[in-house]
């Protein structure tokens, strides 16, 4: 194989060297080399720093790596990469530009090489490509592109892991790109082999064999209905031996060890006598060509897992919560409330045994010192109809004793409430069928968490609120934080369960789970969702980075779960596997989304960038002062973006867990919402969201201006005692910083510093209006007639009005001066004022100027940052 060469050279090309297409597409070719080209005019920004990232650097988010920083020359920023024989940059590589403190820039609309939210390098070039897939112990399926094929066996070479050549006796054509290669002798299909043609050598893939493997046997540990036997099953195609270890407790020696037997579908199984509920277990796996790990691994299908590094435990299926008496809300009716269990419960006045635990979330009768309802009662009163819980599946946590030994005396870690234990949001699942063990009440036995979660779902169901959970099937807790962990999939079959290159993980987050060409991984995703429905009664799922799950699997998931189950997810950040990205049956984006996607175009119009805000006028959307977004606001309200095939294509939102908190983005000082919030503009963003068509999701706490202001802007790296580095990203991504994420319940009802009470009441009024009979005009699944919205769009882009379905009139003045709206031929009837800057109440109405409008012509003057809403009676 060729040695990788990489050089970065300064560039002194002038603007005349670039075509209009080069400038829009973000790169130019200069002989064998690639020039990354960033135009300030095309992107309409004037950055202080420009960095390029993409699949060629694992989508690294490092903004300080000088190798990938562009140099400014007049209106252009450029970086030249030497790229002989595509050694560094390959055709079809995706890339994007980031500026300043890390702001991601979407491809310009003029780019002809945009795909899936990225720019594509050399999209018109086909590089030499060779792939050899093992089918069985005498057959390979070979794909050749960009090279002249041969049908002469001696032109090809196959070697085993020891370097021994295996003779090829036939090469048979299939399509223009594919061949069937047959050997004259049998080889071990479980071992690594190498295939070469025309001086290109590749490691043989097991895809041909893997894509044919499937079993419908129950996996995991399952006690039979008559309680006479307990079955243990795991799937591991390349394993040569799997041993089952049984334990009386979570820490002692095994009392029994059994060799498991492999069936024809690579399922390893053992049937034990008796009911083993309560028994702990794990496995030891022998794998050819695998010397990285020699320990025990746990069950990826375990119902109970004693911490990510612990043992699995046998238990019975959980009896699910009773269904919602009125059924799961239709997707168009969804007003979801996203919340993390610990963030929500950390400061509730509950016993220490349940603080930060599931029972705290459903405890009734809690009040703060102002006698305001908080916790469960607060959420019921708010009026949402869907509780969206951030990850509840068992996720990667460093053991408490290991964590404390590293950080218990660290002042930075103390400041953020993370010195004593490894707080995480949970986007690093390790056991998809188990409830997160740290969420169970203190002092309870492993397994109790299943009952506690079921009881949580039941409590919300009884109040007619659906419960959905955030699942993370795109990457797992193995290989997080840059370190290797061998918990289950990494040992049972790294190259089966994950996308790999030469048996090494790829992916921006440590690894990528591989669902395409992997029927048993596809089944794993569908199985886990069915499990949470059937054993707990959950009503739907938000899928993290769903864009990394292949389109066909998501279609299958949608069909398997049924049309009533709520599903939405993130479409962005594609795979680092070029085969995935190049396959239109797998790769997808918003325009062909198989599930409802987060509509980021609406978000940006309503409130601005998700990255570190710099300029209040430009970084807070149309309400905040970026008036060029008025047209996008109109599209966002009406579902008018090109990707909005139906009103259920996308789900609208403002902020969400891993974005800047809305209060900090609209902060008056230092981007810190604790010091005051631009409340009128904040309300205007909320009003836009709640009067948009289709489903919406709210970030928990935004309704009373929850801030992450405690966190700093800077990123800090801490090192554990074993040398493991951990990054704490600060205010923009507080996934591992406990105190900045807390719900400050004392702010409920307060008017100090910010009018927390007034803001809460305003959002509550919006929510209840949206879910009322009158609010049904927003809750549509299909696009209505174009006349459904009557726009009042004055020449001044700081003003916007709209009449929806001849039932609701909204006027917004985001200017810093008075503005008069002229309304012609308002339809007959009494139009009652239900919202202004101070209050929103669709039942009683609100007092003030223009409290009742009659049909006809009107001139309505709004003060600076003014807003008014009327409903036709």
Cβ 381 vs Cβ 476: under 8 Å:
no
43 has a pLDDT exceeding 50: yes
Q: What is the pLDDT of residue 72?
A: 94
Label the pairing between strands 165-166 and 200-203: unpaired
Q: What is the pLDDT of residue 75?
A: 75
Distances (CA, A) of 728 to 413, 424, 718, 850: 10, 11, 8, 51
Cβ 263 vs Cβ 269: under 8 Å:
yes
The phi and psi torsions of 825 (rounded to 5 degrees) equal: 60, 50
Tell me the CB-side half-sphere exposure of residue 657, using CA atoms within 13 A: 26
Q: What is the pLDDT of residue 609?
A: 86
Q: What is the dihedral of CA 535, 540, 545, 549, to 10 degrees?
A: 70
- Residues 348 and 361: their CA atoms lie apart, in Å, by 9
In the chain, the N- to C-terminal Cα span, in Å, equals 76
Q: What is the pLDDT of residues 211-239, one digit of tens each?
A: 999 999 999 999 999 999 999 999 999 99
Q: What is the pLDDT of residue 578?
A: 87
Higher pLDDT, 503 or 696: 696
Residue where the block lists tokens 């297409």: 21
Residue where the block lists tokens 């009911």: 275
Q: How confident is the model at residue 6 (pLDDT cuts 50, 70, 90)?
A: very low
13 has a pLDDT exceeding 60: no
2 has a pLDDT exceeding 60: no
What mean pLDDT is predicted for residues 659-675?
96
Per cent of the chain over pLDDT 70 is: 98
- Residues 94 and 74: their CA atoms lie apart, in Å, by 26
Label the pairing between strands 866-872 and 831-835: antiparallel
Distances (CA, A) of 795 to 200, 624, 820, 859: 62, 18, 12, 16
Q: What is the pLDDT of residue 63?
A: 87
Say which range, 171-175, 266-270, 287-291, has the weakest mean pLDDT: 287-291
What mean pLDDT is predicted for residues 47-65?
88
Q: What is the pLDDT of residue 8?
A: 39
751 has a pLDDT exceeding 60: yes
DSSP 158: E
In DSSP terms, which residues pair with 280 in a beta bridge? 247, 313
Q: What is the pLDDT of residues 785-813, one digit of tens each?
A: 999 999 999 999 999 999 999 999 999 99
- Residues 488 and 309: their CA atoms lie apart, in Å, by 10
Displacement of CA 518 from its chain's centroid (Å): 21
100 has a pLDDT exceeding 80: yes
Q: What is the pLDDT of residue 181?
A: 98
What mean pLDDT is predicted for residues 572-577?
88
Could you give the 3-state DSSP secondary structure of residue 265?
A: coil
Tell me the CB-side half-sphere exposure of residue 87, using CA atoms within 13 A: 15
Q: What is the pLDDT of residue 850?
A: 96
Q: How confident is the model at residue 159 (pLDDT cuts 50, 70, 90)?
A: very high
Q: How confident is the model at residue 9 (pLDDT cuts 50, 70, 90)?
A: very low
Contact partners, residue 559, CB within 8 Å, separation at least 6:
none
What mean pLDDT is predicted for residues 338-350?
98
Q: What is the pLDDT of residue 573?
A: 85
202 has a pLDDT exceeding 80: yes
Token digits of residue 619: 């970084």
Label the pairing between strands 596-598 and 650-653: parallel
Average pLDDT, the chain: 94
14 has a pLDDT exceeding 80: no
Q: What is the pLDDT of residue 499?
A: 96
561 has a pLDDT exceeding 70: yes
Q: How confident is the model at residue 345 (pLDDT cuts 50, 70, 90)?
A: very high
Could you give the 3-state DSSP secondary structure of residue 336?
A: strand
778 has a pLDDT exceeding 90: yes
Q: How confident is the model at residue 64 (pLDDT cuts 50, 70, 90)?
A: confident
Q: How confident is the model at residue 207 (pLDDT cuts 50, 70, 90)?
A: very high
Q: What is the pLDDT of residue 86?
A: 86
763 has a pLDDT exceeding 50: yes
Q: Which of 33, 81, 75 is nearest to 54 (CA)?
A: 81
90 has a pLDDT exceeding 90: no
752 has a pLDDT exceeding 70: yes
Q: What is the pLDDT of residues 381-424, one digit of tens each?
A: 999 999 999 999 999 999 999 999 999 999 999 999 999 999 99
Q: What is the pLDDT of residues 722-739, one digit of tens each?
A: 999 999 999 989 999 999
Cβ 207 vs Cβ 139: under 8 Å:
no
Q: Which of 544, 679, 726, 689 is nearest to 607 (CA)?
A: 689
The phi and psi torsions of 551 (rounded to 5 degrees) equal: -60, -40
Element (H, E) at 862: strand 856-862
Token digits of residue 156: 């090809």
- Residues 808 and 829: their CA atoms lie apart, in Å, by 12
Q: What is the pLDDT of residue 102?
A: 77
Q: What is the pLDDT of residue 73?
A: 86
Q: How confident is the model at residue 15 (pLDDT cuts 50, 70, 90)?
A: very low
Q: What is the pLDDT of residue 610?
A: 87
Which domains are present in the chain? 8-120 (2.60.40.10), 129-210 (2.60.40.1220), 220-313 (2.60.40.10), 785-872 (2.60.40.1180)
Q: What is the pLDDT of residue 246?
A: 98
Q: What is the pLDDT of residues 837-867, one digit of tens each?
A: 999 999 999 999 999 999 999 999 999 999 9
Say which range, 42-51, 262-271, 435-444, has the weakest mean pLDDT: 42-51
- Residues 182 and 470: their CA atoms lie apart, in Å, by 46
Neighbours of 641 (CB within 10 A): 19
Q: Which of 80, 18, 100, 91 is nearest to 55 (CA)?
A: 91
Cβ 607 vs Cβ 662: under 8 Å:
yes
Contact partners, residue 6, CB within 8 Å, separation at least 6:
67, 81, 82, 87, 88
Could you give the 3-state DSSP secondary structure of residue 376?
A: helix
647 has a pLDDT exceeding 70: yes
What mean pLDDT is predicted for residues 196-223?
96
Handedness of CA 33, 57, 609, 569 (dihedral sign): positive
Could you give the 3-state DSSP secondary structure of residue 481?
A: helix
Q: How confident is the model at residue 574 (pLDDT cuts 50, 70, 90)?
A: confident
């Amino acid at each position: 194989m060729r040695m990788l060469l990489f050089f970065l050279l300064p560039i002194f090309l002038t603007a005349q060297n670039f075509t209009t297409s080069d400038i829009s597409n973000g790169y130019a070719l200069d002989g064998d080399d690639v020039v990354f080209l960033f135009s300030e005019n095309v992107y309409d920004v004037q950055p202080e720093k420009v960095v390029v990232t993409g699949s060629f650097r694992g989508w690294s988010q490092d903004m300080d790596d000088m190798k990938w920083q562009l140099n400014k020359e007049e209106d252009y920023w450029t970086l030249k990469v030497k790229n002989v024989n595509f050694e560094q940059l390959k055709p079809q590589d995706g890339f994007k530009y980031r500026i300043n403190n890390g702001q991601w820039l979407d491809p310009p609309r003029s780019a002809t090489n945009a795909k899936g939210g990225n720019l594509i390098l050399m999209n018109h070039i086909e590089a030499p490509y060779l792939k050899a897939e093992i089918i069985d112990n005498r057959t390979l399926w070979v794909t050749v592109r960009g090279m002249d094929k041969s049908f002469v066996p001696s032109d090809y070479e196959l070697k085993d892991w020891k370097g021994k050549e295996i003779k090829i006796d036939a090469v048979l054509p299939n399509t223009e790109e594919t061949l069937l290669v047959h050997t004259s002798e049998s080889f071990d299909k479980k071992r690594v082999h190498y295939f070469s043609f025309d001086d290109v050598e590749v490691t043989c893939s097991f895809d041909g064999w893997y894509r044919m493997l499937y079993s419908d046997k129950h996996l995991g540990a399952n006690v039979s209905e008559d309680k006479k036997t307990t079955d243990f099953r795991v799937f591991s195609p390349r394993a040569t031996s799997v041993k089952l270890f049984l334990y009386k407790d979570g820490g002692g020696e095994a009392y029994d060890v059994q060799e498991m037997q492999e069936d024809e579908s690579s399922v390893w199984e053992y049937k034990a006598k008796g009911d083993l509920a309560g028994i702990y277990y794990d496995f030891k796996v022998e794998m050819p060509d695998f010397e990285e790990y020699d320990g025990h691994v746990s069950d990826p299908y375990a119902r109970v897992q004693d911490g990510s590094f612990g043992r699995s435990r046998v238990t019975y299926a959980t009896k699910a919560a009773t269904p919602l008496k009125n059924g799961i809300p239709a997707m168009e009716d969804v007003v979801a409330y996203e919340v993390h269990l610990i963030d929500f419960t950390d400061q509730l006045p509950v016993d220490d045994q349940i603080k930060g635990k599931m029972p705290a979330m459903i405890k009734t009768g809690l009040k703060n010192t102002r006698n305001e309802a908080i916790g469960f009662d607060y959420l019921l009163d708010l009026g949402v109809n869907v509780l969206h819980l951030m990850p509840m599946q068992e996720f990667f946590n460093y053991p408490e004793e290991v964590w404390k030994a590293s950080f218990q005396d660290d002042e930075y870690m103390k400041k953020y409430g993370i010195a004593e234990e490894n707080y995480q949001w949970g986007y690093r699942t390790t056991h998809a069928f188990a409830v997160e063990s740290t969420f169970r009440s203190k002092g309870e036995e492993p397994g109790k968490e299943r009952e506690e979660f079921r009881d949580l779902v039941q409590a919300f169901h009884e109040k007619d609120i659906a419960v959905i959970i955030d699942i993370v099937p795109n990457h797992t807790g193995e290989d997080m934080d840059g370190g290797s962990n061998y918990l289950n999939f990494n040992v049972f079959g790294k190259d089966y369960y994950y996308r790999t290159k030469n048996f090494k993980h790829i992916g921006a987050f440590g690894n990528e789970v591989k669902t395409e060409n992997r029927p048993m991984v596809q089944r794993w995703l569908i199985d886990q969702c069915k499990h949470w429905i059937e054993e707990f009664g959950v009503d739907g799922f938000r899928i993290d980075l769903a864009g990394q799950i292949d389109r066909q699997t998501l279609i299958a998931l949608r069909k398997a779960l049924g049309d009533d189950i709520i599903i939405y997810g993130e479409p962005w950040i594609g795979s680092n596997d070029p085969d995935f990205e190049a396959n239109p049956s797998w790769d997808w984006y918003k325009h062909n989304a198989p599930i409802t996607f987060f509509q980021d175009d609406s978000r940006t119009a309503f409130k601005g960038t998700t990255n570190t805000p710099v300029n209040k006028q430009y970084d807070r959307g149309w309400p905040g002062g970026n008036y060029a977004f008025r047209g996008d606001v109109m599209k966002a309200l009406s579902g008018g973006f090109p990707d909005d095939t139906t009103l259920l294509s996308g789900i609208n939102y403002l902020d969400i867990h891993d974005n800047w908190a809305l209060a900090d983005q609209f902060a008056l000082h230092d981007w810190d919402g604790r010091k005051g919030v631009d409340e009128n503009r904040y309300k205007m963003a909320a009003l836009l969201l709640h009067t948009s068509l289709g489903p919406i999701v709210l970030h928990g706490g935004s309704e009373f201006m929850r801030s992450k202001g405690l966190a700093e802007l800077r990123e800090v790296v801490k090192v554990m005692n074993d040398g493991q580095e951990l990054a704490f990203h600060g205010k923009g991504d507080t996934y591992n910083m406990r105190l900045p994420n807390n719900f400050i319940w004392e702010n409920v009802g307060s008017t100090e510093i910010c009018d927390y009470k007034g803001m809460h009441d305003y959002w509550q009024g919006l929510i209840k209006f949206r879910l009322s009979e009158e609010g049904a005009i927003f809750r549509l699944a299909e696009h209505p007639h174009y006349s459904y919205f009557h726009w009042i769009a004055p020449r001044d882009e700081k003003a916007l009005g709209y009449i929806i379905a001849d039932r609701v009139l909204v006027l917004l003045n985001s200017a810093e001066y008075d503005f008069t709206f002229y309304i012609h031929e308002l339809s007959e009837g009494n139009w009652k004022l239900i919202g202004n800057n101070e209050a929103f109440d669709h039942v009683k109405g609100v007092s003030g100027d223009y409290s009742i409008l009659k049909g006809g012509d009107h001139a309505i003057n709004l003060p600076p940052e003014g807003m008014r809403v009327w409903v036709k009676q």
